[in-house]
Amino acid sequence: MIDFEEACRCIAGIATPLGVEQTPLDVAWNRVLAAPVIARRAAPEAAVSAMDGYAVRDADLASGPTRLRLVGESSAGSPDGGPHLEAGSCVRIFTGAPLPAGADRVVVQEVVQREGDAVMIAERPSPARHVRAAGSDFASGEVLLDAGTRLTPQALVAAAAADQEMVEVYIRPRVAVLSTGDELVAPGRATLVPGTIPESVSFGVAALALAWGGEIVCRQRLRDDLPSLARAAGIALDAAHVVVVTGGASVGERDFSKAMFQELGLRLEFEKVAIRPGKPVWVGRVGNRIVIGLPGNPTAAMVTARLFLAPILAGLSGRSPQDALAWRPLPLLAPLGACGDRECFHRGHSAADGVRPVGNQDSSAQKALALADLLIRRRPEARALVAGDLVEVLAF
């Protein structure tokens, strides 16, 4: 059995990027850039209006009422801003439209009166010019997004603004989730079959994998039969970069989570980690595939998936595994008992002024699990805590 930090170092050593590929921007959300995104054009390419109003020459604005000739119109998408402004003239202009040559400011429409082909400005406008200068957002050839950037919704806006149809990203790890246990049935069936329980863990694990950059290629429920488990393991390894097995991680006669991969060449990286919950968690490799075994109890499975599967997927998809383990301090809002000889990860609920442990900390809890959005880390032999003490937390 190893400690948590050693397990994290082990994962950092095996969770390295899978390679790179080009992908269209419209399916690039949550991918990680393998190359920078460089602007193909400036934004804006020419000076444009920031408001609806009238493009004018600042020199034509007197301190009192001003009358100008309306000589044209400029709207967004126009190839130019209309006729060159001579002294005493103006152009009707809309937000995002190019300024006509000779114009150096926009007067907002709210302070202008239109009289046919003339406009009246009752008094000198405010100092604001309401003009976005050419290249004021970014220049042609400028790096908008660095390699290693995760393509969030905000980053996708910048990538599209760079006029890039395709981006170079790290390959997304394919994930298979295998749930084992004779007692498990599909949700909706347990009330019809005495002695069974709804299989719930795979839904949470699959969703977590998606959130951390994985692509689910298989989610399967399996009976505790070693030959059929071994067949399913082989199929999963052919289809996925990471195979997650839930259940069967202990030492019972029907705990086959490791045995199902044995004939396929399983090499264990570690088995059993000195943590609570989730001590039976294990990680191994079959060739260049990674296999992770999670406990069957729902809370233990989700805690260990967050602590170990998330860093694995982060590393495979081009991020640092440590990105998935960004602990931060928060004040505790309720007492928390002393920690035993294993590192403890309590489930907590965030509040505006700190974190509160959820009521049921049992490794099989499911109702309380839904309330938990933070993990609270306690080191081995840590003393009991009172409200106000700082604790390390991780987004769950």
Q: Which CATH number fits domain 20-35+138-170: 3.40.50.10860, 3.20.20.140, 3.40.50.980, 3.90.105.10?
A: 3.90.105.10
- Segment 180-204 shows an average pLDDT of 96
Query: Is 0.95 surpassed by the pTM of this model?
Result: no
pLDDT band at 249, cuts 50/70/90? low
Tell me how far apart the alpha carbons of residues 314 and 319 are, in angstroms, rounded to a whole number. Answer: 5
Q: For 309-351, what is each residue's pLDDT tens digit?
A: 999 999 999 999 999 999 999 999 999 999 999 999 999 999 9
State the pLDDT at residue 62. Answer: 80
Q: Which of 148-152, 251-255, 307-311 has the lowest mean pLDDT?
A: 251-255
State the pLDDT at residue 282. Answer: 97
Instruction: Provide the edge-to-edge strand list for the sheet that holds 242-246.
Output: 215-222, 174-180, 242-246, 289-294, 282-286, 267-271
Q: From the CB of residue 373, how many other CB atoms can be counted at a distance below 10 Å?
A: 14
Please, what is the average pLDDT of the chain? Answer: 96
Q: Which of 141-145, 249-253, 265-269, 353-357 has the lowest mean pLDDT?
A: 249-253
Q: Which of 121-125, 191-195, 331-335, 384-388 has the lowest mean pLDDT?
A: 121-125
**52 within 8 A of 95, measured Cβ to Cβ:** yes
State the pLDDT at residue 64. Answer: 81
State the pLDDT at residue 376. Answer: 98
Find all residues with CB under 8 Å of 218, minimum gap 6, and list them.
176, 177, 178, 235, 236, 239, 240
Tell me how far apart the alpha carbons of residues 396 and 391 are, in angstroms, rounded to a whole number. Answer: 15
Q: Which CATH superfamily is domain 48-132 in?
A: Molybdopterin biosynthesis moea protein, domain 3. (2.170.190.11)
Is the pLDDT reported for residue 250 higher than 70?
no
3-state SS assignment for residue 157: helix
Beta bridge partners of 346: 376
Considering only the C-alpha atoms of the chain, give the largest distance between any 2 of them, rounded to a whole number of Å.
94
Q: For 379-393, what is each residue's pLDDT tens digit?
A: 999 999 999 999 999
CATH assignment of 4-17+172-325?
A: 3.40.980.10
Is the pLDDT reported for residue 252 higher than 80?
no
Is the pLDDT reported for residue 70 higher than 60?
yes
Q: For 7-54, what is each residue's pLDDT tens digit?
A: 999 999 999 999 999 999 999 999 999 999 999 999 999 999 999 999
The two tokens of residue 174 are: 């394919």
* Whether domain 328-395 has CATH 2.40.340.10: yes
pLDDT band at 251, cuts 50/70/90? low
Q: Which residue, chain included where needed, has tokens 């000739």?
A: 69
State the pLDDT at residue 188. Answer: 96
Q: Residue ranges per domain, the chain?
A: 4-17+172-325, 20-35+138-170, 48-132, 328-395
Q: For 84-97, what is each residue's pLDDT tens digit?
A: 999 999 999 999 99
Q: For 253-263, what is each residue's pLDDT tens digit?
A: 567 999 999 99
